[in-house]
Amino acid sequence: MADFRTSLADAAPDDALPPPLAALWWAKKGDWDQAHRIVMNESDANSAWVHAYLHRVEGDLGNAGYWYRQAGQPVAKDTLEAEWERIVSALSAS
């Protein structure tokens, strides 16, 4: 996770990052649209989890709830920052 955090100083994420982590990278950089474009056409549970997070950031909690269900994850109740950290940790460990 430290390498991932360090990469936030770069202009773009590493091409080797899987789509969910690349989307989280863009989200952290403040580019919601780019992050959303990355995960919106992915069909795996990790992308759905990130998709849920992004809609929570957007404030669209109904849509976020749908994506949490698709991901098999509970609806997040913690801060957006804490959720971002939790998802990055989980996806970096896998």
Distances in whole angstroms, Cα of residue 35 to Cα of each of 26, 50:
5, 9
**More confidently predicted of 42 and 1:** 42
- In a domain, residue 45? The reply is yes
What's the whole-number mean pLDDT along residues 39-47? 96
- In a domain, residue 23? The reply is yes
Residue type, 3: D
Query: How much is the pTM?
Result: 0.93
Question: Structural domain of residue 89, as residue ranges?
Answer: 2-8+18-93
- In a domain, residue 13? The reply is no
Question: For residue 19, what pLDDT is reported?
Answer: 97
Number of domains in the chain: 1
Cβ atoms of residues 64 and 48 within 8 Å: no
